[in-house]
Amino acid sequence: MTPATPLPATPATTGTAGTAPTRVVVLLSGAGSTFAALLEASRAADSPYEIVGVLADKPAAGLDIARDAGIPTAVVALRDFPDRAAWDEALAAAVAAHDPELVVLAGFMRLVGCPLLDAYGGRIVNTHPALLPSFPGAHGVRDALAHGVKITGATIIEVDAGVDTGRILAQVAVPVLEDDTEDTLHERIKAAEQPLLVDVVRTLAAR
């Protein structure tokens, strides 16, 4: 009897170039609609990237989307570490465990520290719901609305050590409507932001 020969492992391919897809780790803190858009796009036959891990700084709803898709997840919560420096090290180690080539912050509401920047500098992308350099920080939509701007939008940046100060990679404008609330405006921003982020990630991954 001929012993069964195991099939060689077939690496995933981009379908066109025949190379393995770029490994992407996503960091999030919230509902995960941005991650869901990235995940959906990664399922295209010609996707140049695959999402290999999803990390959060708390038990965020976005992690359920990853679990349902069979993607490994982890929570690296600040409260579980003696100080911020220890958390920064743990976060960098959790990212590195997936050996990514690109890290995407998709609604991750914390600054990333030196360990992650040192390891992945120039390969960390963030999306922000305002037209930077206006309205950086945790409340980009609320701050733009309170300021009375008539046009806001979303910005994709390369992450540096500052608060939303990194190199701008792409932007999209979204008009503010007369009766907008923070929620209605944020939903319309997300609708424009997510295809833009997908486009940037695909472009970076294809390089």
Closest CA to 49 of 28, 26, 80, 81: 26
Q: Least distance to ligand GAR from the beta carbon of 38, Å?
A: 9
For ligand GAR (CB under 6 A), the number of binding residues is 17
Say whether residue 65 binds ligand GAR (CB under 6 A). no
Say whether residue 34 binds ligand GAR (CB under 6 A). yes
Closest CA to 21 of 43, 3, 5, 6: 43
Say whether residue 32 binds ligand GAR (CB under 6 A). yes
Say whether residue 155 binds ligand GAR (CB under 6 A). no
Say whether residue 106 binds ligand GAR (CB under 6 A). yes
Among 21, 115, 140, 153, binds ligand GAR (CB under 6 A): 140
For residue 147, indicate whether it is catalytic. no
Distance CA 138, CA 146 (A): 14
Q: Are 112 and 159 in contact (CB under 8 A)?
A: yes
User: Which tokens in the block code for residue 147?
Assistant: 């300021």
Pick the stretch among 40-48, 82-90, 105-113, 175-183 that binds ligand GAR (CB under 6 A): 105-113
141 residue type, one letter: V
Q: How far is CA 99 from CA 24, 147, 181, 194, in A?
A: 9, 42, 40, 24
Q: Least distance to ligand GAR from the beta carbon of 114, Å?
A: 19
Give the footprint of ligand GAR on residues 160-199 (CB under 6 A).
Answer: 190, 193
For the residues of 149-192, what is the DSSP string, one character each?
-SEEEEEEEE--SSSS-SPEEEEEEEEPPTT--HHHHHHHHHHH
Q: Write out the catalytic residue numbers.
A: 128
Residue numbering of the annotated binding site: 84, 109-112, 126
Binding site for ligand GAR (CB under 6 A): 30-35, 62, 106-107, 109, 127-129, 138, 140, 190, 193
